Structure 1
Amino acid sequence: MSTTGTDPTAPPRDSGLRAFVRDRSELGVCLILLVLGVLVLTDAITMDTDITQRGPIGPTTVPIVVGVLLLVVAVLLAVDVLRGGRGEAEGGEDIDLTEPGDWRTVALLAGVFLANAVLIGPLGFPISGALLFWGSAYALGSRNLTRDPLIAAVLSLVTYVVFNNLLGVPLPGGPLMGVL
């Protein structure tokens, strides 16, 4: 045991810029939040608001609030990091970090989302949404071929009716346009 306070078996510590960046890597998250906040605010301020406003809150209110909150969080996180704060490493709960990632599931989910983006125009949201919900359930491990499509269809139809008819947010209806 060394009495000088340094461990001779420990690897040498980097000094300078490399050490600063390694010890404060959370500043990258701050930068991403800052850029995202500026992007959201810029988009909200330059938004074309030719629609009629029904109340005191217009269509730019929520994006402006979100953009300001992103900037505030970026600044607060940067101050905390520069004062020496560090994020706690995730314990991973019951995940074995030595095992490789499940790229098959990731690829299936990406394919389902891409298929939804391609099919929503010609098939409409009720059908493409049902395929999205069913495909996501399948990709995540559910293999019940009678229950899953039924739940997916109900979820998709309820989502379509709520958005299209109750909230006034038009979604493409596809072949079901006149039925719902």
Structure 2
Amino acid sequence: MTQTQTAPETKTAKNWFKGRSELGLSALLAALGVLVLVDTAAMTTDFTQRGPVGPKTVPTVVGVLLLVVAALLARDVLRGGRGESETGEDVDPSAPSDWRTVLLLSAAFLSNAVLIKIIGFPLSGMILFWGCAYALGSRNTVRDPLIAAVLSVVTYVAFNNLLGVPLPGGPLMGVL
């Protein structure tokens, strides 16, 4: 063999993955499925199970479905299938990033994380919802804080009182 005969073979092997980037997603899904199944197998059940469906059922089904989806995706990609590019949004890929919006959203999320233990979820959630609306372009100074307050209180009541997921109430603890 001469050097000219081996060069195209190397180039072909090198470019084999170029049109098959979905195989990376398939590998990630498979790894996640294996992780879920391993964690489910290691799960201890220290309580009496009532009925045929126990605490391992749903994670096992999710892990198996992740493996099935990974295998189906890999098969489709290896048969020449390709994912379609997103055409639903009106996005200009050549436009620069909007770092102001990213920083404002980050500030809203970080302020929620810092303030939730101090002032409670209803108030920190209101700051989060209003901050996100402001960062995304809404400038109504009366409507936005009102909607944020309603969303925050409804979310707090739904999780804390209806679902039994305790959230810090802060100064509003006795009121709600």
1:94 and 2:65 are equivalent in the alignment: no
In 1, the alpha carbon distance for the partners of 2:38 and 2:32 equals 10
1:156 and 2:148 are equivalent in the alignment: no
1:63 and 2:59 are equivalent in the alignment: yes
Judge which range, 147-156 or 85-94, deviates more.
85-94
Normalization by structure 2: what TM-score?
A: 0.81
Q: Flag the structure with higher helix content.
A: 2
Structure 1 residue 18, shift from structure 2 partner: 2.3
Distance 1:166 1:39, change over 3 A: same
- The correspondence for 1:111, drawn from 101, 107, 114, is 107
Counterpart residue identity of residue 66, structure 1? V
Give matches, 1:7-26, under 5 Å. 15-26=11-22
Sequence identity (%): 70
Count of equivalent residues: 169
Query: Counterpart of 2:24?
Result: 28
Q: Which ranges of structure 2 fall in alignment gaps of 5 or more residues? A: 1-7
Distance 1:165 1:145, change over 3 A: same
Q: Deviations 1:28-60 (Å, cap 9, x if unpaired)?
A: 111222222233334444446557777765554
Q: Which ranges of structure 1 fall in alignment gaps of 5 or more residues? A: 1-11
Structure 1 residue 142, shift from structure 2 partner: 0.6
Structure 1 residue 125, shift from structure 2 partner: 1.3
Normalization by structure 1: what TM-score?
A: 0.79
Alignment RMSD (CA, Å): 2.6
Query: Counterpart of 2:73?
Result: 77
In 2, the alpha carbon distance for the partners of 1:174 and 1:39 equals 38
